[in-house]
Amino acid sequence: MPRKPRETSSTEVYHFINRGVNKKNLFHMPKDYKFYLALLSEYSAKFKIQIFHYCLMSNHTHLLVRAKEMGNLSNFGHYVQRRYAYYYSKTHDWSGQVFRKRFISLPVKDDVYLLECGRYIERNPFQARVVNNPEDYLYSSYPFYAYQNPNPLITASPAYLDLSRDKNTRASTYRFYVSQIRTSERKSKDTVPF
């Protein structure tokens, strides 16, 4: 049975998700994360993909990307997965599948969700209780937005740029926005904002 075609986004923006097979960890040590980030850099440039936000969790990845052509997004996902699977198998003496299946690309249909999706991505380590604060997590785009730390992988999200003309106000507004806990996110009474 043929694969269902990917849904295209009128905004050209997608929430791109990759998972390890059977919830297996994709990353075990810092050099794994660094290699994956290098692949993102290489193939985003090659296929003209803009990366707005990212977070690499131990067994899955989240990206918020803009791709003007679906073919470029497919090629980007294919080559990142293929090259990383080869690296992973060789580095960790693994034979078999690395990723669960082909990547997921969920269309971001409006600008309102653009900022919210970035927030969701960068809160992943906090929601998973890996860190107490998003800035403590090494493998996400949060420091770029919250503290204006340079990151050549990132293209600033238009929704972020719309927060303020002043870069310091924009960064503090973003920190506040990300720190707010939604009712749907509360896991217990002891959950506190960072």
What are the extents of the domains in the chain? Answer: 13-181
Bridge partners of 67, per DSSP, are 49
- Which residues in 27-84 belong to E strands, given as ranges? 49-56, 60-67
Which residues, in sequence order, are CB contacts of 157 under 8 Å at separation 6+?
Answer: 52, 53, 64, 114, 115, 118, 145
**Which CATH code fits 13-181?**
3.30.70.1290
pLDDT on residue 182: 76
Question: Which of 127, 11, 132, 120 is closest to 62 using CA atoms?
Answer: 120
Which residues, in sequence order, are CB contacts of 76 under 8 Å at separation 6+?
Answer: 43, 44, 46, 47, 49, 65, 67
Which residues, in sequence order, are CB contacts of 24 under 8 Å at separation 6+?
Answer: 59, 98
Which residues, in sequence order, are CB contacts of 143 under 8 Å at separation 6+?
Answer: 135, 149, 151
pLDDT on residue 86: 96
pLDDT on residue 191: 41
Q: Which pair of tokens denotes residue 81?
A: 């997965």
CB 153 within 8 A of CB 51: yes
Q: Is the dihedral of CA 16, 21, 27, 32 positive or negative?
A: negative
Which residues of the chain have a pLDDT value below 50?
Answer: 188-194
pLDDT on residue 185: 66
Residue 80, SS3? helix
Bridge partners of 105, per DSSP, are 16
Radius of gyration of the chain (CA): 17
Q: Which pair of tokens denotes residue 7?
A: 């849904």
pLDDT on residue 178: 94
pLDDT on residue 7: 82
Bridge-based pairing of strands 104-108 and 13-19 is antiparallel
Which pLDDT tens digit goes with each residue over 162-171? 999 999 999 9
Furthest-apart CA pair in the chain: how many Å?
53
In angstroms, the CA 52 to CA 22 distance is 28
Residue type, 137: Y
pLDDT on residue 186: 61
